[in-house]
Structure 1
């Protein structure tokens, strides 16, 4: 019997969501590497099997402009990342499209897909310069993706994209960074699959998208939620009759509520595994509460924290 697969991804990036020259620390990335090494032992003791995580490092233009080197974060923590790789972890890329404004500040710009694809290309080249190999897995930032961007990631040689967030409504990027003049829009992900899938036959015909985990919404007393569910039903050809909400390890949940949401995510019988993503490790208490809940899930069924490759293998074998 295959265990229930979990891919737990950690984005290693600056501490602030949109840092500038005056707040460009990234110490929490190192804290995440240290703390998750401890959690690896605790998870393995609870599950009885080896545990692997995913580390997705920022190595894009914004990092280069802030620190004088796009590989600054990767270089600082390379010994720890090498140790994680020896434990079987995935080391990949986390990519943001952020540019300097005329007034010297910063903004996100996902409206210029050509520039986004160039940024992706550069990040993959930076990864190879540090790790001496091609990058197999990537995650775009700001909950944004597009067909052109996925195609570029595939052309760069990656086999796994862990960006898509099942159940998200479309949203302008400016709402994420108020007052910055950020550009572009996140596409609708209401009808996105829950299981890994191949989005197209492109240059890389072994390219998989691993959607992040979600649960069926139960807050139908909120205005407009029934409309969201109706739209979700239409966009999925009535295969999914309830809108979904993301399961986020860094959000605050009451312990009993978290258990209920994990059970709700599994209740439809269509969730082949769980993919989760966090920024560094903050807020750490919430993340660790979430990990405890996942270990609790392992008391009821066999689970395995694994790489994207193993996640796809187990999830597709279960179909």
Structure 2
């Protein structure tokens, strides 16, 4: 993955409109960091919990094909191992998804990509030693490529001077675009490596959970794939020929842009302001109803 052609491909992907649009949302989010406000820190902690609930729901649905509800995912996240009236297959899949999230979190304390084999195992995916090694190598190479690409963008932005400012492109937006391009290439490679090992949907979900932990290590906000986007990403594995990376980028950038916008909204949420706006909306609605009543 580390050669001149790959670096050129990262630059090309980073310049695509989909990546640039997502990077703008990402830079708006990372501009809030490091968080120091207690309210925003609390909101971010709630976001992280909510993200795991959503991830477990999507994974359980993908593994079982059953209708997994938000309530199912929340119950299991909070510690339930059975849910009255609900299929045990759903509960077991949710338990496995949460175990996989916990296994992936081991990467935070020690950036050793070999731990991601445990993520696959938690989901019941079969990564043999060769596949697990290939995926670990891809993660390591992606980290090197992300660091180099981000540094190149910062230097390039400094050299551009006023031109870059006139284009309205911040160094952080450029950095996020470059690292997201690396993510896209790594995702395409790892998904195919897992697929070559016949790990199926479980293996693909393990790849995406692993990449989210990797995102933290390179200061890229986490991504989330809805069932629809996950399905599109899985379909992209079958793409061959020129433009393979672009197919993955189309899905990944869409997921990134939506999630990063939501993450920023969640972090900035002010309960007092929300209550005030709700009260104003109620008062406005009451006035409109009274006005309509007396105008008859």
The bucket for the TM-score relative to the shorter chain is under 0.3
Q: Which is higher, the Rg of structure 1 or of structure 2?
A: 2
**TM-score, normalised via structure 2 length:** 0.27
Higher relative contact order (Cα pairs below 8 Å, separated by 6+ residues): 2
